[in-house]
Amino acid sequence: MSSPSDPDFLMANDDNEVLVSGEAVAIDVRPTGFILRGAGLFIDWVVYFVGGTALLVWVIYPILFAVVGKDSDAQKAVTLAMSVVMLVVVPIVVELLSRGKSLGKLAVGARIVRDDGGAIGFRHAFIRALVGVVEIYATLGGGAVITALFNSRSKRLGDLLAGTYSQYERTSLVVPPTYGVPVELTEWARTADVARMPDRLARRISQFLANCASMTPITRDRVSRDLASEAATWVYPLPATSAELFLAGVVALRRDREYTGQLLEKSRLVPVKAALTGLPHDFPNRG
């Protein structure tokens, strides 16, 4: 179990969760927050209520009165049937056709997905809509609020029973800055040799540099020294500088050299592009 001083524990982002795909690839996902879920639900409720009322008053009632007259029993039956359609059938159809979205979810950037990240099916949409009649409409949202407050993904009861949650799909427009080799290490970088590091170590170093500003000075110094000690095995010569500047220089140097290598590889493929992408004898163009 990780302690609060463990580097991996410090790098964790509490807002994100790690989802492991079938190919064993870790994917960062973000559940939709409680406030955003409430806003999306309110938008959907307004749309369904206004749309259902308008359809009932302006279309169905006139047709019903023209056929059977002002029959109160028939009017109640139609109203009940219309309520079921708008509160259960329409949400199911909308979520299935839009693969987990609705107008409210589209507005707040959310999508309903399975717990494993896959698209929902009829069973999931049916359970969510059916339970939603009780926990949202019958309790005026109180049941959904109470349930959502007591789990990390803001799930309502329908999500817990269906095995789904609301995933937040919008990404931040803020682009993290990219820093080059520190000025103090410019001369060292010209002759330094940085071998390929283990992916886990390289990832920990990058995460440390991205999050070190939020650490306490003591923890920041200790973690930087530990990472610098691990990274020193793959670097020669070692510069006479602080551990944090050393890590920043190593990351910048590796990034620049890998980018240069990719450009060289791309330039080598240009002369043979026609041979790699072309088809023999204009196949399949026979005419």
Same domain, 189 and 159: no
Q: Are 24 and 82 in contact (CB under 8 A)?
A: no
Percent of the chain with pLDDT over 90: 41
Same domain, 118 and 150: yes
Same domain, 93 and 159: yes
Same domain, 122 and 38: yes
Same domain, 146 and 36: yes
Q: How does residue 113 score in pLDDT terms, banded at 50, 70 and 90?
A: very high
Backbone angles phi, psi at 20, to 5 degrees: -95, 120
**CA dist., res. 43 & res. 39, Å (int):** 6
The closest of 108, 126, 123 to 41, measured between CA atoms, is 108
Q: What is the pLDDT of residues 144-188, one digit of tens each?
A: 999 998 888 889 999 999 999 999 988 766 667 777 888 999 999
Same domain, 246 and 156: no
Residue 228 has a CB neighbour count (10 Å cut-off) of 20
Residue 170's pLDDT is what? 84
Domain presence at residue 152: yes
Domain presence at residue 199: yes
Same domain, 188 and 264: yes
**CA dist., res. 124 & res. 148, Å (int):** 18
Domain presence at residue 283: no
State which residues form the domain around 92. 32-168
Q: Are 44 and 91 in contact (CB under 8 A)?
A: yes
Same domain, 142 and 66: yes
- pTM of the predicted structure, to 2 decimals: 0.57
Domain count, the chain: 2
Residue 3's pLDDT is what? 39
Same domain, 223 and 195: yes
The predicted model gives 51-79 an average pLDDT of 84
Same domain, 92 and 156: yes
Residue 6's pLDDT is what? 39
Same domain, 188 and 163: no
Domain presence at residue 14: no
